[in-house]
Amino acid sequence: MVAYQGMIAENTCIHGHNGDLIEAYVARPLGVQSCPSMVVIHHAPGWDEWIKEVTRKFAYHGYAAIAPHLYSRSGPGSPDDVAAAARAAGGVPDAQYIGDATASVDYLRTLPTNNGKVGIMGFCSGGRHAYIAACRVPGIDAAVDCWGGRVVAGPEQLSERSPVAPLDMTPDMQCPIIGIFGNDDKNPSPAEVDRTEEELKKHGKTYEFHRYDGAGHGFFAVDRPGYRSEQATDGWKKVFAFLEKNLDGPAR
Amino acid sequence: MCTWICEKAPVVGSGKGAQGWFAINSANVAYDHPVHAPLDHAILIDFVNSTMGPSARVAVEMDPQSAMGLVRAILTALNEGALQPMLEGITEMPDLAAPALALAR
């Protein structure tokens, strides 16, 4: 007989940076005593259907997961309208993101099923955010950077909203990190991935990078033309193996 | 890649959104990931009223070649509308004036 499997998934609100009330999508497995948790950071197009599918994917695999809506303050409205408003405003300041990610970690740690371990995963701009969280958000045990652009950033790419290049935060990295990249990507380019790897090595950080031929940017997203089935399937396998090792496995 | 490229042009006019017509005050033009168009990157144009909240938006997404065609169509329509002096008066954008006039012709 197949073991019982169920989950609950719903919108909620948490108090993010500065105590602001922000939306979040939460999914968690039912019928488990203990499980690790994941923060899921959306890509630039926003808090969309696909990022909620990813959140449920974690629950399916035995993790409690939360996807904070980083653009909440640009709402209310439908997520795509709100994402457009956030884009016009220049995106989310890094300090605000760090506050929202910290609140997401705190939320997950209040769950009675939390096994004491919390990881973070992000895509595209969210991959950059995952890298930042590994260095700046307290209590992160593992980070997954999927093709985060602008981890390597020159002075011309820095601003009041993003005053420090994530690469320069590397000495403060507090947890293992896995990176998933497509070799046809232009941001991050293979050369930028090399530069990031060099910095991680230099500071003795625990990391594993996986680079895929025949894939560009965002190749996990099943609803995009850049989806690459074979590479994405292998990438997810690598991600879950990494998380099982660093977050004490899935639900029990 | 998320480019975060977003240019804004003040607009005087109206747009028709999900709730009907409304006054618009800006066209926000980005080159980034689309929401709906089956493209990795696209020209994204949002005609918005920034005082009415994010839902006051008429959104279009198109590939770059389509966007060039749109630019050409706008300039041609302006030209045919006897607005040549306006086109020749784009002195604040000298780099754009010549190619814009060439496109319109």
Give per-residue pLDDT as tens, A77-133.
999 999 999 999 999 999 999 999 999 999 999 999 999 999 999 999 999 999 999
A77 and B CB contact within 8 Å: yes
Is A213 marked active-site?
Answer: no
Predicted confidence (pLDDT) at residue B84 exceeds the cutoff of 80: no
Predicted ipTM of the assembly? 0.80
Helix (H, G, I), strand (E, B) or coil at A115: strand
Do the chains contact at B8 and A82, CB–CB below 8 Å? no
Predicted confidence (pLDDT) at residue B90 exceeds the cutoff of 80: no
Is A175 marked active-site?
Answer: no
A192 and B CB contact within 8 Å: no
Taking residues A220-248, what's their average pLDDT? 96
Query: Would you place residue B76 in the very low, low, confident or very high pLDDT band (cuts 50, 70, 90)?
Result: confident
Q: Residue A39 and residue A127: Cα distance in Å, rounded?
A: 12
pLDDT at B93: 61
Is A194 marked active-site?
Answer: no
Kindly report the CA angle at A176 between A49 and A167, in degrees rounded to 5? 80
From the list B1, B44, B54, the residue facing A187 with the nearest CB is: B1
Q: Which of A35, A100, A124, A175 is catalytic?
A: A124
Residues in chain B within 8 Å Cβ distance of A217: 1, 40
Distance (Å) from the alpha carbon of B94 to chain A's nearest alpha carbon? 24
pLDDT at B79: 80
From the list A75, A149, A225, the residue facing B2 with the nearest CB is: A149
pLDDT at A249: 77
Taking residues A197-214, what's their average pLDDT? 98
pLDDT over 70, % of chain A: 99
Q: Do A26 and A111 touch, CB atoms closer than 8 A? A: no
Distance (Å) from the alpha carbon of B91 to chain A's nearest alpha carbon? 26
Q: Residue B8 and residue A111: Cα distance in Å, rounded?
A: 44
| Sign of the Cα pseudo-torsion (A186, A187, A192, A196, in order) | negative
Distance (Å) from the alpha carbon of B70 to chain A's nearest alpha carbon? 21
Beta-ladder partners of B46:
B28, B59
Output the average pLDDT for chain B: 86
pLDDT at B105: 56
Q: What is the largest CA-CA distance in chain B?
A: 41
Q: Residue A59 and residue B7: Cα distance in Å, rounded?
A: 39
Enter the tokens of residue A81. Answer: 């309208």
Lowest mean per-residue pLDDT among A34-38, A103-107, B11-15, B99-103: B99-103
